[in-house]
Amino acid sequence: MTRELARFYKQQFDEFRLDLIESWGVHELSLKPVQSNLVSVYRQYLGLACLTTILSQRAPRNDYVRAVPEVSYLSMILAVKGLENSASVLLRQSIELALKHVFFSSHPVEFDWSLRRPGYREISFQFLLDYLRKTEE
């Protein structure tokens, strides 16, 4: 890893750590035992955030992928606070968002239709899994 990248990771993690303490009420001493694991998870989050930012450019249906970093960030915070079930719910939501991106990328007509229907019922997680099993994507 280059020195610049290592410095970037450290700077971003320090900002995340400060956010946990100041905005989310996590006690600084409770972070020390999990510091190395948290650094590793946060690096993976940064990679995911970069990837989804690149994937979400120049197409309206990419709103699904664009929301993944926010959901993942909040999931990390809830996990640090010990709210495992809530963190898992948000992680599942990020998976659903990615699956919706895949589905609507090959179904633009359905995507346009879903945007114009106020009473549109969300497609289910099971429907998305079944679709993914049937397609080559």
Tell me the pLDDT tens digit for each residue of 9-63: 999 999 999 999 999 888 899 999 999 999 999 999 999 888 888 877 876 667 7
* Separation in Å, CA 42 to CA 9, 73, 93, 107, 120: 9, 9, 19, 33, 36
Inter-helix orientation angle 35-55/3-22, to 10°:
110
- Cα distance between residue 60 and residue 83, in whole Å: 33
As given in the structure block, the two tokens for residue 25 are 């009420």
- pLDDT the model gives residue 86: 83
Q: What angle do CA 47, 49, 70 make, to 5 degrees?
A: 140
> For residue 84, what are the domain limits?
3-134
What is the domain count for the chain?
1
- pLDDT the model gives residue 126: 67
Q: How confident is the model at residue 98 (pLDDT cuts 50, 70, 90)?
A: confident
- Which residues, in sequence order, are CB contacts of 38 under 8 Å at separation 6+? 13, 17, 31, 80
Q: Does residue 119 have a pLDDT over 60?
A: no
Q: How confident is the model at residue 68 (pLDDT cuts 50, 70, 90)?
A: confident
- Cα distance between residue 90 and residue 68, in whole Å: 9
Tell me the pLDDT of the chain averaged across its residues.
81
Please tell me the least confidently modeled range out of 40-44, 73-77, 83-87, 94-98.
Answer: 94-98
Q: Does residue 83 have a pLDDT over 80?
A: yes
Say if residues 23 and 53 touch (Cβ distance below 8 Å).
no
Q: How confident is the model at residue 116 (pLDDT cuts 50, 70, 90)?
A: low
Residue ranges with strand state E in 32-128: none
- pLDDT the model gives residue 15: 95
